Amino acid sequence: MRVTLFDYGAGNLHSLTKALATEEGVDVRVEESPARAVDTDVLVLPGVGAFGSAAARLAPGRDAMRSALEKGLPCLGICLGMQLLFDSSDEGEGAGLGYFAGRVTRLTSRRVPQIGWNQVEGDRTLSGAKLDTAYYAHSFVCRVEDTSVVTGWTTHEEDRFPAVVRRGRVVGVQFHPEKSSSSGVAFVRAFLREVAS
């Protein structure tokens, strides 16, 4: 299985590559071109960086990537990668993929960013790997127009927002599974197994 990380100049590709490679038969590659990144079995949008600069890197291949997702290309979007699956963000200019309807806004909590472990409420994303807690590091969150795509929630202080969204074979997570201990890696592996079948 070819798994491609779309590199939009963010960090943290090493630990994510390591987590993905724990699944047997997975060949992980990193691709800077959004148009070429969709020539793969599974696309991963990694999770560190700012929306504006990531959207600018995405722009030349945005339509190709959105089309590939609509046609069934499996995708895992992590933190900023999840936010790129939405329409737009208060964090910066540029368009996301618009695969999920909604906008990314700043956390309304007193303590921002949220950094550390927090619950994943009612996770029903993957049958083989239910997450109860996960590691978060973010200042912005996705506000969905259609709550039926939310498969897990979390709350930071009084702000409740999607921890996980899913439509078809595309999953977005606000947390960092690659930093969420063995249960986070199990979540990634369960996703890869499900989309491979």
Residues catalogued as catalytic: 79, 176, 178
Query: Concatenated DSSP letters for the chain?
Result: -EEEEE-SS-S-HHHHHHHHHTSTT-EEEEES-HHHHTSSSEEEE---S-HHHHHHHHGGGHHHHHHHHHTT--EEEETHHHHTTSSEETTBSS----SS-EEEEE--SSS-SEEEEEE-BT--S-TT---SEEEEEESEEEEES-GGGEEEEEEETTEEEEEEEEETTEEEESS-GGGSHHHHHHHHHHHHHHHH-
